[in-house]
Structure 1
Amino acid sequence: MTTEPAVIHCDQFLPHPPAAVWKALTDPRLHARWWAAGDVRAEVGHRFTLDMGPFGQQPCEVIAVEPDRLLRYSFAATSLDTTITWRLEPEGNGTRLFLEHAGFDLDSPMGKKAFDGMGHGWPSVLTRLATVLGDL
């Protein structure tokens, strides 16, 4: 019996305009400060690798871009084969950032372990993002 691929959802209010949040998501120098080093770029078809430390180099490819609104890329195509979507919505004087990390195969031990680990890990990643934005 197979289950539907699992999805992690997180959202966080950031007291910064969408353009600042977008820059943190798409500028490799800033991205490395809050999550992982890699040549991320907001360009459909752009392939890059994120250095996930003990979890190795994870290949990614940008599959959707709407500047200051949406960034979607495949993540860990050779192992997890998941998709990360960042969606930004203006809210008051800041931005509500929505994260969707989709496609975890819970029938696979690696998929289940990654889903559990990343489900717990993403909130702290978003906290680091907020800290980096506060330093700008």
Structure 2
Amino acid sequence: MTDTEAETLSVIVEREIAFPPEKIWRALTQPHLIEEWLMKNDFRPVIGHQFNVSADWGIVDCEVQAIEPHRTLSYSWDTKDLRSVVTWTLTPTENGTVLRMEQQGFQPHQQPYYRGAQAGWPRFLDAMEDVLAKMD
């Protein structure tokens, strides 16, 4: 590990959700559902697929890094001078799924991005839970 890697910060949000991994996976990988809880996007669950998510404040450039259906999804999350990776991990439980989101790669001088992610991701997950509750 380089000094730079050792100094980066991560935002981790983990919660148990009362739905099976297969249902949560749909919310993570179907563009019309992603738009409901995150942002407009042109996502496709294909390794190497470049896509972006967009909101009123701007666009995030992304590229799918890893996919293990119903278990793991990882993509780059790059905006202006932030280069990071978002990784979703789904772990089945008796009552549903533990969903873990980690965004890693914040440099120490990128506190506004880091604080924004700390505030934003829990809200995005709240919105995802609302979407999941409405899905078939």
Q: Same fold (TM over 0.5)?
A: yes
Q: Secondary structure, in 3 states, of the residue corresponding to 1:68?
A: coil
The structure with more strand, counted as a fraction of residues:
2
User: Between Structure 1 and Structure 2, how many residues are aligned?
Assistant: 132
Task: From 32, 45, 51, give the equivalent of 1:48.
Answer: 51
Paired residues of 1:59 and 1:78 also in contact (CA < 8 A): no
Task: Flag structure 1 segments of 5+ consecutive residues without an equivalent.
Answer: none
Specify the code of the residue in structure 1 equivalent to 2:60.
Q
Paired residues of 2:59 and 2:79 also in contact (CA < 8 A): no
The residue that corresponds to 1:96 in the other structure is 98
Q: CA deviation at 1:40?
A: 1.4
Q: CA deviation at 1:34?
A: 0.3
Q: Percent of pairs identical after alignment? A: 35
Instruction: Give distance in 2, aligned partners of 1:61 and 1:77.
Output: 12
Task: Flag structure 2 segments of 5+ consecutive residues without an equivalent.
Answer: none
Calculate the aligned-residue CA RMSD, in Å: 1.6
Matched, 1:20 2:23: yes
The equivalences for 1:1-136 within 5 A come to: 4-54=7-57, 56-76=58-78, 78-107=80-109, 111-136=110-135
Superposed CA deviations along residues 81-129 of structure 1, whole A, max 9, x for unmatched, are 100000000011311100000000122xxx2101011111111111110
Q: Which moved more, 1:62-71 or 1:34-43?
A: 34-43
Q: TM-score, normalised by structure 1?
A: 0.91
Structure 1 residue runs of 4 or more that deviate by more than 4 Å after TM superposition: none
Instruction: Give distance in 2, aligned partners of 1:87 and 1:53.
Output: 28
Superposed CA deviations along residues 43-67 of structure 1, whole A, max 9, x for unmatched, are 110000100321x111100001000
Q: Secondary structure, in 3 states, of the residue corresponding to 2:26?
A: helix
Q: TM-score, normalised by structure 2?
A: 0.91
Instruction: Give distance in 1, aligned partners of 2:41 and 2:67.
Output: 18
Specify the code of the residue in structure 2 equivalent to 1:135.
K
Q: Which moved more, 1:96-105 or 1:75-84?
A: 75-84
